[in-house]
Amino acid sequence: MTPAQCFDHNGRLQPFDGRPDEPYLYQWVHVLDGQPLRLDAHLHLLGTAYRALFSRDFRFDTAGIARRIGAMQRANRYPLAGSSFVRLRLYASGETALLPGGVSLYAGYALRSLRPSAVTVCCELPYDDRPTSLREAAAQLNRRIAAAAGAQVAVRCDAAGRLLDADDAPLFVVRGMTLLTPPAPESVERQIAREAIAAAGLNLQEEPLTRETLRRCDELFCFDHRGVTALGSCDGTPYMDLIAGRIAQALAAPF
C-alpha cells in the first residue's frame, strides 16, 4: 500500500509520519465513481471546528483536495467505478493528510449486509464531541471493549445512560414509523441520513434517548460514510431492519 499523502501549508507533498503528538480533526469522505461526495460540506465542517478549537482559519481549496484524492486513489490502485473511502485529517498546524480508507462492495451509500451485535459502552469525552483525534482514539478503544464483550459495535452513552452514537456514527432508533436520534454535533452523514429519512416519507425527531430506549424500540441503526448499518441486537435485545431498508432505498435516488 502506498503511504498516505500529506501536504504542507504551501500544498507541497510531504512524507506522512503520523505526527503522533499533534491533535487533528478528521472527516471520512465517500468517493463514488472517482468523485468525492459532498466535499464542500466536509471541508466546511473542518473549517468551523478548526476555528473553534484552534482559533485559526483553515482556508481550503475544494478542487485541489479533490485532485489530491484522485491522485491518492490512483496511487493505491482503487477501481475507477464504485465506491471507496478516504479519511481527511486537518492537523493543528494547518497541514492536511489523506489516508486510504478501503473499497466498498457497493456503489453509493447502501444498506450494508452485515447486521452486527452491539453493546452499550459508557464513554464521555472532554470539551465536546467534534471529530478530533481524541474522539477517534476513544472509538477505537470502545470497539475493543465491545469485542471483549462478544459484540462488533459499541453504542456509546454518557454516565447518565444517555445515548450518543454507535461506532463514531450517528445513531437512529425506530419506533413504529417514527425515527428518533439523540442530539449530536452536525455532520455530513447526519445530514444525508436526515434527507433520506424525509425522502422515505418518515418522521425524524431529535430528543435525548437512554439505554432504556433500546429495550423498547423496533430497530436500531447507524449511518456513516459507508451507508446504513442495521444492528442485529444491542445488550441482548434483538431488532428488525425493515425501516433501515426503506431508508437505504431512498439513498439510492440522489446518488
| Rounded Cα gap, residues 182 and 170, in angstroms | 8
Give me the CATH number covering residue 10. Answer: 3.30.470.10
pLDDT for 237: 97
Residue 199 one-letter amino acid: A
Residues 239 and 163 in one domain: yes
Closest-CA residue to 241 (of 220, 223, 222): 220
* Whether residue 142 sits in one domain with residue 51: no
Nearest 10 degrees: Cα torsion 137, 141, 147, 153: -50
Cell of 177: 414509523
pLDDT for the residue 126? 87
Per-residue pLDDT at 9: 40
Contacts with 241 (C-beta within 8 Å, 6 or more apart), sequence order = 111, 115, 219, 221, 230
Range(s) of the domain holding residue 34: 5-103
CB 165 within 8 A of CB 156: yes
CATH number, domain with residue 222: 3.20.10.10
Domain boundary among 67, 86, 103: 103
Specify the pLDDT at position 7: 46
User: Helices (DSSP H) in 31-163: which residue ranges?
Assistant: 39-54, 62-75, 133-148
Mean pLDDT by 10 residues, the chain (255 residues): 44 53 94 96 96 91 94 91 95 92 91 94 90 95 97 97 96 95 96 95 96 96 96 97 93 68
